[in-house]
Homo-oligomer: A and B are copies of this chain.
Amino acid sequence: MSRVVVVGAGFAGLAAVRELRKSGAQVTLVDHHLYSTFQPLLYQVASGGLNPGDIAYPTRNFVHRHGARFRRGSVTAIDIEAQELVLDGAARVVYDYLLLASGVTTNYFGVPGAAEHSLALYTRQEAIILRDRLMAGLETLATRGGSGDLTAVIVGGGTTGVETAGALAELRNAGVRAAFPEITPGQVNIVLVEQSPELLASYPPRLRRYALAQLRKRGVQVRLDTPVREVTHDTITVGDGAVLRADLTIWAAGVAAAAGVHEWGLPHDRRGRIVVDDHLRVASHPNLFVAGDLASLDGHPLPQQAQPAIQTGTHAGRQIRRLLASEPTQRFRYRDKGTMATIGRNAAVVALPYGVRVTGAPAWVAWLGLHIVMLLGNRNRLSTLLNLSWRYLAWPSGNSLIVGDLPAQD
């Protein structure tokens, strides 16, 4: 039986496992974590809107239902000659076909102090750390009883940065009232810093303007044309030399492949992502595919989002099936199904194909509905629906902050 190994339990890897279900091959999914994280809602965990468990699904359960196997581990090397993955702890996994879909990680672009002093938002653990730091800061503010302030600076005005800034504004304007009645919204500053002249650069102009206006309406201080030069534990130095105070710096400025990927000996672009041809195959390695954020499609950069990851994962899985059936591989074509970002209560932007643009409450409802459907597991779907509805529809009337397991404070 042919052995197919898929690395990474994100959107791309899971899509591939799903596609390979009836391939007849022995499929093994390798991932360092036991749970697959639904990354598009990480910022909700970070801002106390969702339980960490709401956006986590046991990978074993998924692979088992799709007739595959799970192997826990991180890839440290690929032995192309022997067709073997080397995992941490030196275990080896033999493959006939290999799909790499282990994603990317935060890119600090060499900004001094950024890696040491800012918090990223790319894994569940990072979201929990950010939440705990944020709540500890609010707690300190509350004990001071009405004096002082707390400034959170988000670096990067892409989808992650805009959604995080919006969620923190929601937290400040409504959520804090219940958990920290001593704090007034004016004591909490949310600053969003973006180096380019616009937010959400990949969106149509009208939606960019809408997002900017909505964030400002919600009290987010948006600073455009503002590159970050340096980060310290409580400041950010920006392009014109100005120094901003930042009790908390959240880095949402970009992603790159993890450092270890360089050592796999595969061709990569300047962000370390593996370069593939338009069949998603690594040139001169006919049995090696790459999907999701880790794939660098020459000349056709894809957004680092769920849809491209799912589509490339499905395509790569299908090509492996075709090779197993001795059929030729096919070209990948990205089908734009639209993008969306949420800013706050009844405020979101949706850009659909054919120039369809939606903003406001209808976009917010579409955003909520789509994310509920995309989550794995009905319990997670219901819990997320409940918690997000609570946050955005009922928040002012009572507690909805999910911070019940601060380890340092319990």
Chain A interface (Cβ within 8 Å of chain B)? 33-35, 51-58, 60-61, 64, 72, 123-125, 128, 139, 142-143, 178-182, 376-380, 382-383, 386-387, 390, 394, 398-407, 409-410
Contacts and interface: CB of A to CB of B under 8 A. Distances in A.
26 contacts: A51-B51, A51-B53, A51-B402, A56-B403, A56-B405, A58-B179, A58-B399, A58-B401, A60-B142, A64-B181, A123-B410, A124-B404, A124-B405, A124-B410, A125-B407, A125-B410, A128-B405, A378-B394, A379-B386, A379-B387, A379-B390, A379-B400, A380-B399, A382-B386, A382-B390, A386-B386
Given A124-B410, A386-B382, A410-B123, A57 B405 contact: no
Contacts of A34: 139, 406, 409
A404 B56 contact: yes
Given A61-B181, A379-B399, 14 more contacts: A33-B409, A51-B383, A52-B404, A58-B178, A58-B179, A60-B182, A128-B405, A376-B399, A378-B398, A379-B394, A379-B400, A382-B386, A382-B390, A383-B386
Contacts of A394: 378-379
Closest 6 CB pairs of A and B: A56-B404, A53-B404, A52-B405, A64-B181, A53-B402, A125-B410
Contacts of A398: 61, 377-379
Contacts of A405: 52-53, 56, 124-125, 128, 405
Nearest to A127: B405
B51 A404 contact: yes
A401 B54 CA distance: 10
**Which of A128, A179, A399 has the largest count of B CB atoms less than 10 A from its CB?**
A399
Given A58-B178, A379-B398, A404 B35 contact: yes
A60 B403 CA distance: 13
A404 B377 CA distance: 13
Nearest to A178: B61
A143 B72 contact: yes
A17 to B, nearest CB: 14
A35 B178 CA distance: 12
Contacts of A387: 379, 383
Contacts of A386: 379, 382-383, 386
A96 B401 CA distance: 34
Contacts of A128: 405, 407
A54 B402 CA distance: 8
Contacts of A54: 51, 404
Contacts of A400: 379
Contacts of A401: 58
A399 B57 contact: yes
Contacts of A181: 60-61, 64
Contacts of A33: 409-410
Contacts of A57: 399
A46 to B, nearest CB: 12
B182 A399 contact: no
A25 to B, nearest CB: 19
A172 to B, nearest CB: 16
B124 A61 contact: no
Contacts of A139: 34, 72
Contacts of A72: 139, 143
